[in-house]
Homo-oligomer: A and B are copies of this chain.
């Protein structure tokens, strides 16, 4: 039995330290991930995967924390992946808000992990599905993917989930901001957090009127808008209901499988492109010629591709 096979067996038995080591392997990438993938592939697929995204300051961590507590009350095992674009600081040490998660530190039914993609071939787009697969194989019922930042990359990672929650807060710029970041299109439910603040109704109306602009199939899913005050646990049950309803809708319409196929496709693509980026690297000499205007970038790309 290899080290990785042993760790995988221990992690499936509920050993959180073994699970932590597997997650580090996923994060680091390299040969270990390949072997890990072989052990995990056949066991995966059993969890509800929920993505959370939204601007800094809307209360993602607080909401995640409240969701974890509520799911635990229902007897579900919950894992949280806090996905972080590579930061100048290593690991998750700077993430002060992870400290709040220590509420659950003694509960073996909860696993929380900040994840970056240093070194993983294919970046977070490949590392995140692999991490989800490990957590599913270890018997978690719910995997929450919380993304930091609100850009294209983060939105597409949150969109790898079965259900994607978009968090907003009153007064954080108008609803149009949500559209700008391409978020409307990936949201399966909107959560207006800090709903006790001024402007919550205006935010609600903004989202509803934006949604009315979208043309939809007749039996398409209609995104609910839920109001919460996460730090007082208000509305958290409603969020969980919305997730459950959306999951049931996905299953009923054959969308669950379709979505998981899309997720696998984007995972494999990310691995493929990671490998190709190494193979077809642009040299400094070539880039200098483009920078100096001696060569246009398309001709330069042709040289790289034919080399």
**Partner-B contacts on A (CB < 8 A):** 33-34, 37-38, 40-45, 55-57, 84-89, 94-97, 124, 126, 129-130, 148-155, 172-173, 176-177, 179-182, 184-185, 213-214, 257, 260-265, 267-269, 271-273, 275-277, 280-282, 284, 286-288, 290-301, 304-305
Contact = CB atoms under 8 A, between A and B. Distances in A.
Nearest to A168: B56
Q: Is the interface of A mostly helix, strand, loop or mixed?
A: helix
A257 to B, nearest CB: 7
A182 B89 CA distance: 9
A296 B41 contact: yes
Given A273-B277, A297-B264, A86 B290 contact: no
| Copies of this chain, tallied across the complex | 2
Nearest to A171: B57
Contacts of A257: 291
Contact of A57 (B172, B213, B295): B172
A297 B150 contact: no
A45 B85 contact: no
Given A44-B293, A305-B275, A298 B34 contact: yes
Contacts of A97: 176
